[in-house]
Structure 1
């Protein structure tokens, strides 16, 4: 299946992966240790393939259009964190659940939002240029947000050393390797371009495989968390609605044309779920709910994007005369 077809049908692929993983974990529970063993290298490969699609070498280009970048940064790192803080009042008081919600809602997407923006008639060039800036800033600010929302005791309760090891091995190393790959590709002409294109086809199937491994290795936790999922469904839906409103308001406040405003809205409404997923999976025993919450949010988000792909160009941000 080609990349475009994979991206159009990714929500169904992920749902099938969840069902397959739950089925495999239920029928053959002895597979759980093997699935857990495969999970970490699969995550590292997933993030490496994803990061190669982020133009890390072109960070300075992002600041040539300060109006669009200002809207992206203000919305993602000032306005939406306030919305997330308000939503935590409606999240179950379980610290693992709250951490999972914070992890996933505080980090803007740097990959599939480009696809959704393109499908909705957004400005893909600006989306691509903005992604490395958004990625770097979210990595820097996430610890600050968690400290503000959860307090000083968080690092002690979560084993900061274990989290740091996961961050370095699953996020930093793939990020550095992706940057080196991009530099080599730019110097290698057509051969390098082909490699980047081939790597670009990997994130969707790899994420499906990761979701299958999580569902299969955590089948008891998943089946035991149905009440938990009901408890976070409303906050996730409200976040999508709030992100859409934020996109419309800031698009008008910064006088962005419709294609740029559409890109802005999809930047606000999509989150970097599988970038923070390794951090959640590295948590000590008793915090498994954080990872499950992140996977659940990504599924809710994908259904929301199916709605937004119809709603944004037709109702929220139509071109003049349409």
Structure 2
């Protein structure tokens, strides 16, 4: 069964997206409850993901200065330039502009590890870099928002959701995974837990995709006329970040797994972490949360595509000359 699930995981993820969309549109009253389930489901998924990465390798990953430098340059120097250019298309609408900036300026620290691992990337190095990426976006996001929108924006922003998301989505599952790995070396029952979680990776990813889509799809439908302006921007971002990620990886002399990891990091955004921040905004910015959610839906489809596309664009062996 595990082999079958892994073989057909991409079609299964597409099915999960479809099931979530159908359920969310058919039972919109369930959206608030499903929204509350996003973080718990994501925590379990990340716990299973972290279990699959030997945490003893994290120290080595953190010592790879060129990989970390490439991530930082791509996410905090190149991406802001791209985002500024794309955001000019919605600069006349403050809510759309804030939503686009909020989500595209923040690199992903959670399910990027899962998707990049499926594509054969150095996902252990992304895991090691997650705290650094989170810290850097917390420090630099206010600066970029102030630069692109003006300093008056800070009167309506609250950073508390960032801290809460970091503790829930990174620190907690990572600590539990470390404890489980430690016990597994000494206990057969802990080893069985690790084996069970490994076998549940595909179903957990399917559950996460379904819950996220089902909880938000009706809100997206309700504001679709406004959101049609940002969907092309999100698609364009996913497209342009592939060559940019490859270029930065070559500049910093990354191997194939490292290059794939850099590409995924540059393309995936922290939508599930910034969503609580968007939901905490006052009424004039109510549309911001839906703008963030729309990016989530576009990106989930994009990541399913990336899992198949990136290994072909960045193969382990050079492609034959035409």
Alignment TM class, shorter chain as reference: 0.7 to 0.9
The answer as to whether partners of 2:220 and 2:293 remain within 8 angstroms in 1 is no
2:278 to 277, 280, 304: 280
Residues of 2 paired with 1:321 and 1:70: CA distance?
Answer: 28
Normalising by structure 2, we get a TM-score of: 0.79
Residues of 2 paired with 1:168 and 1:127: CA distance?
Answer: 19
In the TM superposition, residue 277 of structure 1 has moved relative to its aligned partner by 1.8
The answer as to whether partners of 1:61 and 1:129 remain within 8 angstroms in 2 is no
Residues of 2 paired with 1:118 and 1:225: CA distance?
Answer: 34
The answer as to whether partners of 1:258 and 1:318 remain within 8 angstroms in 2 is yes
In the TM superposition, residue 321 of structure 1 has moved relative to its aligned partner by 5.0
In the TM superposition, residue 205 of structure 1 has moved relative to its aligned partner by 0.9
Unaligned runs of 5+ in 1: 26-30
In the TM superposition, residue 278 of structure 1 has moved relative to its aligned partner by 2.0
Residues of 1 paired with 2:97 and 2:78: CA distance?
Answer: 19
Which residue does 1:18 correspond to in 2?
21
1:147-158 correspondence to structure 2 within 5 Å: 147-158=146-157
1:103-142 correspondence to structure 2 within 5 Å: 103-142=102-141
CA 1:183/1:128 → structure 2, altered by over 3 Å: closer, same or farther?
A: closer
Figure out how many residues of one structure are paired with residues of the other and give that number: 306
Residues of 1 paired with 2:303 and 2:192: CA distance?
Answer: 29
Which residue does 1:36 correspond to in 2?
32
Task: Say yes or no: does 1:213 pair with 2:209.
Answer: no
1:154-193 correspondence to structure 2 within 5 Å: 154-158=153-157, 160=158, 164=160, 166-189=161-184, 191-192=189-190
Which residue does 2:101 correspond to in 1?
102
**Corresponding residue SS for 1:9:** helix
CA 1:177/1:87 → structure 2, altered by over 3 Å: closer, same or farther?
A: same
Residues of 1 paired with 2:303 and 2:221: CA distance?
Answer: 26
Deviations 1:277-314 (A, max 9, x none): 22222333343322222222223223333444444333
Residues of 2 paired with 1:131 and 1:193: CA distance?
Answer: 26
Residues of 2 paired with 1:210 and 1:116: CA distance?
Answer: 16
CA 1:171/1:204 → structure 2, altered by over 3 Å: closer, same or farther?
A: farther
CA 1:8/1:92 → structure 2, altered by over 3 Å: closer, same or farther?
A: farther
Residues of 2 paired with 1:312 and 1:181: CA distance?
Answer: 31
Residues of 2 paired with 1:177 and 1:315: CA distance?
Answer: 35
Which residue does 1:28 correspond to in 2?
none
Residues of 2 paired with 1:174 and 1:260: CA distance?
Answer: 23
Residues of 1 paired with 2:142 and 2:189: CA distance?
Answer: 39
Residues of 2 paired with 1:121 and 1:175: CA distance?
Answer: 21
Q: For structure 1, which segment, 142-151 or 198-207, has the greater mean C-alpha deviation from structure 2 after superposition?
A: 198-207
Residues of 1 paired with 2:56 and 2:147: CA distance?
Answer: 32
Residues of 1 paired with 2:155 and 2:114: CA distance?
Answer: 39
The answer as to whether partners of 1:44 and 1:171 remain within 8 angstroms in 2 is no
Residues of 1 paired with 2:212 and 2:129: CA distance?
Answer: 27
Deviations 1:16-46 (A, max 9, x none): 3123212212xxxxx36xx425533x23313
Residues of 1 paired with 2:13 and 2:293: CA distance?
Answer: 14
1:259 to 257, 276, 283: 257
**Corresponding residue SS for 1:212:** helix
CA 1:306/1:181 → structure 2, altered by over 3 Å: closer, same or farther?
A: closer
Normalising by structure 1, we get a TM-score of: 0.79
Residues of 2 paired with 1:83 and 1:207: CA distance?
Answer: 27
